């Protein structure tokens, strides 16, 4: 993370050295020898960090630090001094300084301090967004979010909600596909009709067929009465087929025929019955690969995929994590009868760093865990589940100044491909598009890497 640094130092040679080194590290740098000029700049411009020498002509660094804390509390201050006494450090911290650096300055240590200060400021901004979540949150139905990917999703939902077209909702497990389906129904002309949901992976083939299409009395053992099935129960409303990618191959021709003809035949029945429903399906599978591998009928795929909506994973939604965190705190603190008002900054940082493989569902569970455990008004890092508390981000490093750590181009490719596939949530179609290769080539490479069994 880089940022814009204001340096206040009356030693001009020192200023130039700091500027050259920090610019080389990617920071934007402006310097001035005067505290008064620094105040003028701080009133007119925005900075991420103030780096100030404690000994300045006129107003000293401690006094300037107090001014920044009082007038620009959003900007962290790092104080430098050649007199690294305990008393000076305590005075700097009492004045509100974020950090304290002694001279001669170790540029590596200074760069780390400034980077942390920039990150601290960025986190403060995100936490303020969390505090204002109720006022600023954008919603569509029961879906909460204001990140660019969610704004795009809301725009698509609003454009297709009141149409009759079939919709396929894709996305990782726990990302909110069911909420998107419900939002489509609730904002459609069918909203007064039923919204019927079935999970296609939850029932055996014979029972799933009966659930969808109904059955006649005596059609099979235990069929003691007629059952009309979910297509008819959803009459005038919406039928949501969750986990459509798990629909057994044996039932796919019958579903295709029902969609095309808008009629069904109950199990054991001789007559066809018309129905009037809007069909919405959802899956966390890579459906194009499923079609290519003959695991899903191509003609049925195109029937249910007239319009495709992709619900983004939580890790791609930025500060929506904090907005959702606030929502879940309110929900669970009320349920558990606890007074929890928010999230501490270190906790917010942990939530933003963690990749959330279980998406919104996992975040909900984590917040419920933390609210149940906490003894304070704000959730602390110690309240979070272990795997979130101790998570360390895994960075891919493909360059180094140490020749012994350099790797071959083939190894660089392997690492990057596996990273892209992981980031895409295992979706090979998305990963292949990012990598600029076809899915078959990607599949072969993954087999070679041992990521897919032969």
pLDDT score recorded for residue 282 = 97
Q: Residue 344 has what DSSP assignment?
A: -
Q: Residue 309 has what DSSP assignment?
A: E
Q: Residue 275 has what DSSP assignment?
A: -
Whole-angstrom Cα distance, residue 85 to residue 104?
A: 14
Q: Residue 47 has what DSSP assignment?
A: -
pLDDT score recorded for residue 298 = 95
Q: Residue 215 has what DSSP assignment?
A: B
Q: Residue 226 has what DSSP assignment?
A: -
Q: How confident is the model at residue 426 (pLDDT cuts 50, 70, 90)?
A: confident
Residue 180 near residue 157, CB atoms below 8 Å: yes
pLDDT score recorded for residue 50 = 94
The answer to whether residue 49 scores a pLDDT higher than 70 is yes
Q: How confident is the model at residue 137 (pLDDT cuts 50, 70, 90)?
A: low
pLDDT score recorded for residue 390 = 86
Residue 12 near residue 36, CB atoms below 8 Å: no
Residue 434 sits at the vertex; the CA angle it makes with 430 and 436, to the nearest 5 degrees, is 115
E strands, 284-400, are: 307-310, 342-343, 378-379
What count of other Cβ atoms lies within 10 Å of the Cβ of residue 161? 19
What does each C-alpha distance from 189 to 46, 139, 161, 277 come to in angstroms?
49, 20, 8, 12
Q: How does pLDDT run across 311-349, given as a tens digit for each residue?
A: 999 999 988 999 999 999 999 998 988 989 889 888 998
Best CA proximity match to 244, nearest among 307, 207, 286: 286
Whole-angstrom Cα distance, residue 120 to residue 19?
A: 22
Whole-angstrom Cα distance, residue 144 to residue 319?
A: 11
pLDDT score recorded for residue 239 = 96
- The better pLDDT of the pair 365, 413 is held by 365
pTM of the model: 0.63
Q: How does pLDDT run across 84-111, given as a tens digit for each residue?
A: 566 777 777 888 888 888 888 888 889 8
Q: How confident is the model at residue 135 (pLDDT cuts 50, 70, 90)?
A: very low
The answer to whether residue 63 scores a pLDDT higher than 70 is yes
Whole-angstrom Cα distance, residue 8 to residue 290?
A: 61
Burial class (CB in 10 A: 0-12, 13-18, 19+), 12: exposed
Looking at residues 147-176, what average pLDDT do you find?
92
Q: What percentage of the chain carries pLDDT values higher than 90?
A: 47
Residue 50 near residue 42, CB atoms below 8 Å: yes
Q: Which tokens sit at 396?
A: 């891919």
Whole-angstrom Cα distance, residue 166 to residue 306?
A: 6
Helix (H) or strand (E) holding 139: strand 139-140
Q: How does pLDDT run across 234-255, given as a tens digit for each residue?
A: 999 999 999 999 999 999 999 9
Helix (H) or strand (E) holding 49: strand 49-53
Pairing of strands 278-283, 378-379: unpaired
Q: How confident is the model at residue 302 (pLDDT cuts 50, 70, 90)?
A: very high
The answer to whether residue 444 scores a pLDDT higher than 70 is yes
Q: How confident is the model at residue 394 (pLDDT cuts 50, 70, 90)?
A: very low
The pLDDT mean for the chain works out to 86
Best CA proximity match to 242, nearest among 297, 178, 179: 178
DSSP per residue over 4-40, as a string? Answer: EEEEE-S-HHHHHHHHHHHHHTT-EEEEES-HHHHHH
pLDDT score recorded for residue 406 = 57
The answer to whether residue 404 scores a pLDDT higher than 50 is no
The answer to whether residue 4 scores a pLDDT higher than 60 is yes
Distance of CA 37 to the CA centre of its chain: 42
Taking only Cα atoms into account, the Rg of the chain, rounded to an integer number of angstroms, comes to 29
Report for 53-67, 123-137, 184-198, 401-415: range of highest mean pLDDT: 184-198
Q: What percentage of the chain carries pLDDT values higher than 70?
A: 91
């Amino acid at each position: 993370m880089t940022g814009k640094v204001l340096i206040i130092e009356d030693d001009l040679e020192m200023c130039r050295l700091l500027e050259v080194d920090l610019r080389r590290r990617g920071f934007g740098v402006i310097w001035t020898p005067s505290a008064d000029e620094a105040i003028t700049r701080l009133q007119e411009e925005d900075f991420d960090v103030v780096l100030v020498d404690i000994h300045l002509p006129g107003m000293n660094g401690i006094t300037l630090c107090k001014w920044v804390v009082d007038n620009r509390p959003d900007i962290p201050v790092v104080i430098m001094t050649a007199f690294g006494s305990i008393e000076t450090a305590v005075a700097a911290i009492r004045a509100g300084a974020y950090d304290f650096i002694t001279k001669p300055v170790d540029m590596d240590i200074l760069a780390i301090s400034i980077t942390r200060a920039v990150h601290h400021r960025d986190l403060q901004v995100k936490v303020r967004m969390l505090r204002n979540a109720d006022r600023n949150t954008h919603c569509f139905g029961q879906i909460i979010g204001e990140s660019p990917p969610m704004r795009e999703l809301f725009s698509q939902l609003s454009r297709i909600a009141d149409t009759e077209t079939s919709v396929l909702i894709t996305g990782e497990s726990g990302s909110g596909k069911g909420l998107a389906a419900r939002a489509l129904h609730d904002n459609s002309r069918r909203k007064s009709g039923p919204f019927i949901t079935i999970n296609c992976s939850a029932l055996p083939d014979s029972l799933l067929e009966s659930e969808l299409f109904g059955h006649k009395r005596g059609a099979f053992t235990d069929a003691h009465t007629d059952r009309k099935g979910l297509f008819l129960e959803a009459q005038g409303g919406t039928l949501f087929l969750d986990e459509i990618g798990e629909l057994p191959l044996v039932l796919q021709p019958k579903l295709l025929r029902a969609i095309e003809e808008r009629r069904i035949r109950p199990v054991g029945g001789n007559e066809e019955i018309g129905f009037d429903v809007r069909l919405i399906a959802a899956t966390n599978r890579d459906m194009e690969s499923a079609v290519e591998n003959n695991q899903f009928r191509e003609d049925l795929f195109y029937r249910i995929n007239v319009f495709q909506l992709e619900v983004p994973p939580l890790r791609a939604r930025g500060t929506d994590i904090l907005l959702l965190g606030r929502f879940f705190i309110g929900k669970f603190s009320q349920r558990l009868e606890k007074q929890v008002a928010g999230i501490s900054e270190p906790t917010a940082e942990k939530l933003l760093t963690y990749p959330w493989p279980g998406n919104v569902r996992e975040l909900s569970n984590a917040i419920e865990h933390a609210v149940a455990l906490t003894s304070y008004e704000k959730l602390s890092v110690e309240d979070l589940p272990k795997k979130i508390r101790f998570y360390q981000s895994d960075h891919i490093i493909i360059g180094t100044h140490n020749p012994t750590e350099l790797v071959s181009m083939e190894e660089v490719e392997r690492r990057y491909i596996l990273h892209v596939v992981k980031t895409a949530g295992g979706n090979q179609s998305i990963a292949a598009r990012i990598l600029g290769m076809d899915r078959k080539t990607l599949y072969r490479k993954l087999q070679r890497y041992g990521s897919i069994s032969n």
